Structure formats: C-alpha cells, structure tokens
Amino acid sequence: MQLFDALAQQADHFGALLARPDQLIAVASAAVAALLVIVSAFVRTMIPLRWLAVGSNAGFIAYGLVYPVPLMVALHAVLLPVNLWRVWQMVRLTQRVSAATADPRQLEIWLRPYMRSRRLKAGRTIFKRGAPADRLYFLAAGRVEFPEVGRTIAAGQMFGEIAFFAPDGRRSSSARCTTECTVLSIDATTFRQLVHQNPDFGLEVMRLIAGRLSQDVERLRAPPTDFERPST
C-alpha cells in the first residue's frame, strides 16, 4: 500500500511539474534527446551520428537549464560545439574533394591535415615494384619517375593510387625521385577511417581516380605530337 501511495505522490508531483509550459518543453526535449542517443547506436556513418549527437546535446541542455541540472548543462555545453565542429569538418572535406575532382591541384590543400610530409633527396626510392601498397601519395614538389613504365610526374599529382585500390595490393612499378621532392602520404588505416566516417569522401576520391585513369587512357590513344615522335 505504501508503494502505491509513493507512486501516486510521484505522479502528482510529476503532473505539477508538467503544468508549466517550460517544464513540459524541458521534459519533451530530454525525451527526444534520449531517443536520439538510442538511434545513434544503430547509425554506422559519422555525419548522421554527429547530427544525432548535436540534437541530443541541445535537448539535454534545455532540460538541464529548466530543472536545473548544472552538471548536465556543463557536459553537453562542451560536447555541442565539438560535435558541430566535427560535422563542419566532414562536410567541408567532402566539398573540397568534389572541388578537387575538377581541379586535382587542390588535393594537397584538403588532404594535407591527414597526410604525413617527407622531404626526399634526388635518387631516393619511394617504393619498389612488388611492395605492399599501404600508402597513397601526393607529390607536393619535385619530380618522380616510374622506371618500369617509363613515366615521370611533376608536382601537383597523386600517385600510387592504382595499386592502393588493386585487389592484390602490390606496386606494379617502382617510384624514384629524380629531383629533391616533398612527398605527402596517407596510410590505408587513416584512409579507411575517413571513408567510414564520411562515405561521400570515398565516393569523390574514386571519381577523382576514375577521371585520372580516363585521362591516361586518352593520352595513350592520342597520336604522338611532333615533339613526342622519335627523330629518324
């Protein structure tokens, strides 16, 4: 009997609290925030997950301000700008990759925060033929040659991407610096994390690589110019 009386008192107390519109809004906000937390447990991609976190942060802040619960307000007031910042970073990353699809020279700009930079002397081998393709490269300065295929690239180009995505994951050619070079690289683990966090990022990178392959095919099909024809 005492249990029922206690429950009745709590129900009356809760009903009195909900009589005020601001408290009703606070309870509804907390309920929505809790629901968003539950939904986030089933979300796999990072941008929707961050937006759910932003919504739950706002809901718990509203609840903590009305009742009040200072610790709850402080915790979610710290998390809210962090989640907003991460959403902005991921959206911005996708936009930059989209821009790089039209202008590959922007690769260095948007990918640099995730890449490791190295300065290499002329003659230094970056990777050897048959080696595991565990990194994707971007040439920021200098020139790099691929002896087995007779190709040389200048600064502003990505390389090593074909083997990076190939089924066997092995380099089909060596890469060697013909001048002093600045080379940026991103490892496979970091790249996979970026794709997992933002699938649009991976899609745009694949479009960029496909465009580069198409350009290579067109160059091979085009007849040689007078400059390219061997002298007789």
Q: Is 167 exposed, middle or buried (0-12, 13-18, 19+ CB in 10 A)?
A: exposed
Tell me the pLDDT band of 232, cut-offs 50, 70 and 90.
Answer: very low
What span, in angstroms and rounded, lies between the C-alpha atoms of 40 and 50? 9
23-32, 124-133, 166-175: range with highest mean pLDDT: 124-133
pLDDT, average across residues 101-125: 75
- pLDDT for residue 41: 80
- Compute the distance between CA of residue 49 and CA of residue 65 in angstroms, rounded to an integer: 24
The reported pLDDT for the residue numbered 106 is 56
Q: What's the mean per-residue pLDDT of the chain?
A: 78
Q: What is the pLDDT of residues 116-128, one digit of tens each?
A: 889 999 999 999 9
Which position has the higher pLDDT, 223 or 138? 138
pLDDT value for 157: 83
pLDDT of the residue at 98: 61
DSSP character at residue 170:
B
Give the pLDDT confidence score for residue 217 in this predicted structure: 67
By three-state DSSP, how is residue 26 classified? Answer: helix
Chain segment 183-193, per-residue pLDDT in tens? 999 888 888 77
Average pLDDT of the segment spanning 202-216? 70
Q: How far apart are the first and last CA of the chain?
A: 109
Domain range summary for the chain, segments of one domain joined by +: 2-94, 107-200+209-218
Question: Mean pLDDT throughout 186-205?
Answer: 75
Beta-strand (E) ranges in the chain? 116-120, 125-127, 135-141, 143-146, 151-154, 157-159, 175-177, 181-187
Q: In angstroms, what CA-CA distances link 41 with 45, 53, 84, 89, 152?
A: 11, 11, 19, 22, 48
Higher-pLDDT residue of 141, 218: 141
Tokens of 45: 């991609």
Q: What is the DSSP string of 183-206?
A: EEEEEHHHHHHHHHH-HHHHHHHH
Distance CA 18, CA 224 (A): 81
Task: Read off the pLDDT of each residue in 16-41 and give the average, rounded to a whole number.
Answer: 79
- Position 130 pLDDT exceeds 70: yes
Domain boundaries 107-200+209-218, CATH class: mainly beta
